[in-house]
Amino acid sequence: MSDPTTTRVGFIGLGNIGKPMALRLASQASSRSLALSVYDVAAEPLAELAAAGAQVASSVAALAADVDVLCVMVRDDDQVRDVLGEVLGRSERDGDRLTVVVHSTVAPTTPGELATTAARHGVRLVDAPVSGGSMGASAGTLAIMVGGSDDAFATVRPVLDAMASLVVHAGPIGAGTTFKLARNLMHFVAFTAATEAQRLAEAAGLDLKVLGDVVRHTDAITGGPGAIMHRETAAPIAEGDFWHGVFTHVRALGEKDLGFATDLADQLGVEVPLARLALERLGPGLGLEEHDPPDTEESS
């Protein structure tokens, strides 16, 4: 008979991020009253988790039948659905309730569909995608964004706290996934902007690796794109609002530098469509009135 004070945790999907997440759980298990069991189709990560103190289950169904909270970190929507199908086909237990935590990043409608299906079998489900990559997973410094009921969130919170330094209850089912998609929209648009910057720098004969050093150094100081994300709304800003003055200054600097950069791109024959769009949309995006961007040739 299991200790009622111990939360039995299952983890399915021991890939690049799932494995360090599970290893983090294993390292925290005794201090947080957790008992960890794992399953994966690959033998090597299972052996590593077993060496770290986790129990290895024989199947998804066997794991689901013996845990309170089941974390799922597989590749895509189809694999999540396959896993959930096996989970819901498990043998029934004596009235205790399983909560499934979907860490995989899936389509926006998938968590709601899965939660509805799970509820018909007496199983709760939350979506809880992660941000921070394998490095954050290894260090236990992930951000985890959770969508689900208050009760379900309270149930899974102690497990998530063992793997993350920031756990956010984003809202109802699906809200965690929406948070992750919004965060990654910025992430990958920024990556694309970085490729424009690299092409511009390369055309100008600059060292791209040193440029990368400068970007990482200064983003660590200023906070990068997240530095502007302090308002509670994206609505237009009234002139008397504190942020109006702050963002007017941001806009002036941004439009000046973007103007210079796009002029340089024209001189060097480099395509920078994102920079041109940013020049057009920076002010309105910040919540300021639209106006014609400055003519950098005259202002220079």
Domains and CATH numbers, the chain: 7-172 (3.40.50.720), 179-299 (1.10.1040.10)
180 is catalytic: yes
- Give the predicted TM-score (pTM) of the model: 0.90
Q: Compare 296 and 88 and report the one with higher pLDDT.
A: 88
Least reliable range by pLDDT among 2-6, 18-22, 233-237: 2-6
Distance CA 141, CA 50 (A): 23
The angle formed by the CA atoms of residues 43, 49 and 52, to the nearest 5 degrees, is 145
Task: Report the pLDDT value the prediction gives residue 68, as an integer from 0 to 100.
Answer: 96
Task: Report the pLDDT value the prediction gives residue 99, as an integer from 0 to 100.
Answer: 97
Backbone angles phi, psi at 82, to 5 degrees: -65, -45
Residue 296 scores a pLDDT above 50: no
Task: Report the pLDDT value the prediction gives residue 293, as an integer from 0 to 100.
Answer: 53
pLDDT bin (cut points 50, 70, 90) of residue 17 is very high
Which of 19, 180, 209, 256 is an active site residue?
Answer: 180
Task: Report the pLDDT value the prediction gives residue 290, as an integer from 0 to 100.
Answer: 78
What are 1-7's contacts with CB under 8 Å, separation 24+?
2/35, 3/33, 3/35, 5/33, 6/33, 6/34, 6/35, 7/33, 7/34, 7/35, 7/68, 7/69, 7/158, 7/159
**Range 201-228 burial, b when 16+ CB lie within 10 A, else e:** beeeeeeeeebeeeeeeeeeeeeeeeeb
Task: Report the pLDDT value the prediction gives residue 129, as an integer from 0 to 100.
Answer: 98
pLDDT bin (cut points 50, 70, 90) of residue 298 is very low
Least reliable range by pLDDT among 34-48, 78-92, 226-240: 78-92
Other CB atoms within 10 Å distance of the CB of residue 71 = 26
